[in-house]
Structure 1
Amino acid sequence: MSTTALLPDGTEWLLRNVYTPREVHGVTVLVVISCISLVFVVGLLGAIALSAFNTRSSLDQHLFVRTHVAAYFVSLLVSDLFQALGSILNARWIRDMAVELGPLCTAQGVLKQLADVATAWWTLVIAIHTFCLLFLELKTSRFTLYATLISGWFGIAAIVIAGPAALDTVHHGPFYGISGYWCWISPGWPGARIGLDYLFMFMAAFFSFILYMLIFLRMRGNIIVEGRRVSFRLKKIDQWRGKRFENQALTIARQMLLYPIAYTILILPIAASRFSSFSGDDVPFGVTVFSAAVFLLSGIVNVTLFCATRRILPPESFKIPKWKISAPKEIPALEFNPGQDSYYQNSGTYASSMDEKEKLPSESFDSVPPALNIRTTNVGVPHIQAPPAGHHREDRVESVYNMYAEPTSAIPLTPTDESVNRLA
């Protein structure tokens, strides 16, 4: 049973669509697949972030997290994340046994359109980047990376905003509404469905397939590129003759070819059902659920392909850092007692008590010679010897500059006694 309303232009608008038990089971399958995809995507995003953090001080410039394709792949995973979240919102319709027009329906429609356009765009970007590296043998600059990321996400946001902002939704109904068994672009806007969603999906699949075929023939040796000259030969060559890029970069680029291929395969069922619907045929519920389920496998397939490729991320970069916070400790007070210190007792320069200090001659504390020459006849008991009587320094140092500029200004020492030890 459905609830409708009459718009100002005289058309009926669907406000509520009640599920049948069979439809509840079918939509539940989509929610389960989306939850699994969400776990896969979040787990891989966390692994990539952990690897980037642990290798932040590495000097290896060929790590996956430092390549351009890593940024594009992360954007693709974020798009899969939006796709999973949009489908998980079907759990609300399952609970209510009906799809109902409202803010949650609008949010689901935005997420689904955003995910469709973003997934198509970043899949095509990965294919173009791989084509530039393997076919044209061009390395893109860092400016190209930033420009692609910024313009890509801003362009995707502009496409999503363009529909509700440019169309007359007051007289012809809201842009996002009930579309069959969930919420998406309303049936009253068939042109917007094609131009603002399906067109990007089909173009991404088509051009990705064309670029893949060219790269395949290039690496097989059927297409030879020499400067601006491109030649074709039926017989393949055993070795690809191209610029010698880094092996790691070439390996990653070849593995990235799998994602456009996977996207093209996953989009085929939903494309067939959509074209059948455009032609006026009634698409069965089972076909609709099957095509949607295959398309929702995009996140799971992308993560599986990434994990199946060997050593894209260094295994040692998955270690979780241990954060230790030490508690403050009280610093013990240091007591200085010359009477109990063997060094000062043996040196004879400090008295162990005030009584012993009174016994020492006053010269020991009041008269300090201008220069000291420390000698000892016993390692344990040093002896302080003053310079000879009447010694006069003719080369007195008058400034810091002379001290370092004239190395002969040092005080001459008394003759060395070979039978004793010299202390610094």
Structure 2
Amino acid sequence: MDDVTEFNLRGTIAILITSTISNLAVFVVFLCIISQNNSSLHTVVTRLVLNLFLSDFIQSIGFMLSYNWAIKGIIEPGIYCDIQGFLINLGDVASGFWAFVICVHTYMRVVHSYEYPHIVFLSMITIWPFNILISALGFAIQLGTDNGKRFYGSAGGSWCWIDKYFQEYRIGFHYGIILFNAAAMSVIYTIMFVILYKRQTMATRGSKRVLQRVNKKLVWYPAVYIVLVFPLALQRIVGLAFQNSNIWSSYYLIPAASIFTSAGLANAIIYSITRNLVSVKPVISMVPKIRRSITTASPPTTTYLINTRNSFFTSESITTDMEPMSITSATKSMRVSYIEHSTIYECDDDSRYSSVVTPPSPIHSTDPLINHNRNYYNSSDTISPV
């Protein structure tokens, strides 16, 4: 058992404060998400974020168990210590995996405009059982040791985690996985940003603003994750390299652990900032649809002709480009009536001009149905303009 010294007590209190704040932040955001009465609750990204928050919640609960050590002033190996070590390892590793899945999903949506519908289900049946397994294997490994050492013990004098006598399992069950996820996320986001940068050169001014806004929001995911995880992981890796688990002393370990336990708070803030990003359509899928505005060309039109007994009703739809990623349509309706062999063209918008047109022959004719601003007179029937 390890005594909680005066310095470690202050460090324990710091860790308890950050873990408690993180837990409250995760809990509040979690309630906000599940209380939404709209379709966003059922989106893939929202479900991925909920799993990430659940991981952070488990991690924070694990660190909050150190209230017991702060009260007792000592860390005692036993069931309570085992539970804390199990929860901390489960939450840490699961958080890294879910951050990686969100990274992959974001890459597929932004770059390829593709959303795999079963990614949440497959991730849940893979990540959670795997993390529970490796965290619970410690109890089986503990039973197989000859020295009777417990798998979970004091780590830094402020919480319980994998004991220093099981250094290889610290790498295999925790630090190796976390560093792999952090490195993979960095590579994926680097590739994504390069692709987005290249596509900006072919996009319009409006789409460039959208892509730049996406870049600024997405960059926080890998940056915050690496910043929070790297200090503590670096201390552990260096300690393993020099065969000294207490390298850089507690003066570095406690602040690094405090930063690490604020992952829940950081993820809650990131989600609050980027909640609009995860609910919009893929940006890249919209970029090809953005058309450059051409001032010299007339806007495209579409005309529909409906025959109602002795009248033709035609509707002309004009589509114009306004702001990027927005389309405005205007519809102009006209009524075309015909008397005997001739047809009178009338505009509903009180235009000052009128036309008399001749419809096609019942048998066959290549003459146009409507001829604007031209009067046709039949040798037998003459009709004056309206």
Instruction: Read off the aligned partner of 2:232 and give its amino acid letter.
Output: I
Give me the whole-angstrom Cα distance separating, in 2, the residues matched to 1:80 and 1:293: 14
SS at match of 1:171: coil
* 1:317-396 superposed matches below 5 A: none
Identity of aligned residues (%): 24
TM-score (norm 2): 0.64
Query: For the Cα contact (< 8 Å) 1:64–1:312, is it kept in 2?
Result: no
Could you tell me how far apart the structure 2 residues matched to 1:191 and 1:258 are?
A: 31
CA contact (8 A) 1:208 1:261 kept: no
Superposed displacement of residue 169, structure 1: 3.6
Task: Give the drift of 1:139.
Answer: 2.2
Equivalent position of 1:237 in the other structure: 201
Aligned to 1:212: 189
Inter-partner Cα distance in structure 1 for 2:155 and 2:141: 20
SS in 2 for 1:135: helix
What are the within-5 Å matches in structure 2 for residues 410-421 of structure 1?
Answer: none
Deviation sequence 1:297-334 (CA, Å, 0-9, x none): 111111112222364699xxxxxxxxxxxxxxxxxxxx
1:158 is aligned, of 133, 141, 147, to 133
Partner of 2:264, secondary structure, is helix
Unmatched 5+ residue regions in structure 2? 280-386
The answer (yes or no) to whether the contact 1:130–1:253 under 8 Å persists in 2 is no
Report the equivalent of 1:145: 120
Q: Residue 88 of structure 1 aligns with which residue? A: 64
Q: Describe the shift of the 1:283–1:169 C-alpha distance in structure 2 as closer, same or farther (beyond 3 A).
A: farther
Local SS of the residue matching 2:164? coil
Distance 2:112 2:216 in 1: 14
Report whether the alignment pairs 1:199 with 2:176: yes
Give the AA of the match of 1:152.
Answer: I
Give 1:180-195 correspondences, 5 Å limit. Answer: 180-181=156-157, 182-195=159-172
Q: For 2:261, which of 278, 286, 296 is the aligned residue?
A: 296
- Residue 413 of structure 1 corresponds to none
Bigger shift: residues 298-307 or 204-213: 298-307
**Aligned twin of 1:37:** 22
1:36-58 CA distance string (max 9 Å, x none): 1111010000000101xx22xxx
Q: Which runs of 4+ in 1 moved over 4 A?
A: 250-257, 310-314
**1:171 aligned to 2:146?**
yes
Q: What are the Cα deviations for residues 145-194 of structure 1, in whole angstroms up to 9, with x where unaligned? A: 31222222122212222333356544242221222312101112111110
Q: In structure 2, how many angstroms separate the alpha carbons of the residues matched to 1:164 and 1:256?
A: 39
Distance 2:278 2:235 in 1: 38
**Secondary structure at 1:265 match in 2:** helix
Cα offsets for 1:96-127 (capped at 9, x unmatched): 11111111101110011101110111011111
| 1:270 paired residue number | 232
Aligned to 1:99: 75
Q: Does 1:50 align with 2:12?
A: no
| One-letter amino acid of the structure 1 residue matched with residue 267 of structure 2 | N
Question: Structure 1 unaligned runs (5+)?
Answer: 1-15, 56-62, 225-235, 315-424
1:114 aligns with one of 80, 87, 90: 90
8 A Cα contact 1:133 1:253, kept in partner: no
Distance, in Å, in 2 between the alignment partners of 1:122 and 1:83 is 13
Alpha-carbon distance change, 252 to 153 in structure 1, aligned in 2, over 3 angstroms: farther
Shift of 1:283: 2.0
Q: Which AA in structure 2 matches 1:149? A: M
Moved more, 83-92 or 205-214: 83-92
* Amino acid in structure 2 at the alignment position of 1:98: I
| Amino acid in structure 2 at the alignment position of 1:76 | L
CA distance in 2, matches of 1:69, 1:252: 15
Partner SS state of residue 165, structure 2: coil
Taking the TM superposition and a 5 Å limit, the aligned residue runs for 1:64-75 are 64-75=40-51
What CA distance in whole angstroms lies between the structure 2 residues aligned with 1:265 and 1:64? 30
> In 2, distance between residues paired with 1:313 and 1:46?
18
* In structure 1, distance between residues paired with 2:8 and 2:104: 40
- Give the Cα–Cα distance (whole angstroms) in 1 for the partners of residues 176 and 112 of structure 2: 27
Closer, same or farther: CA 294–39 of 1 in aligned 2, 3 Å: same
| RMSD (Å), alpha carbons | 2.8
CA contact (8 A) 1:169 1:175 kept: no
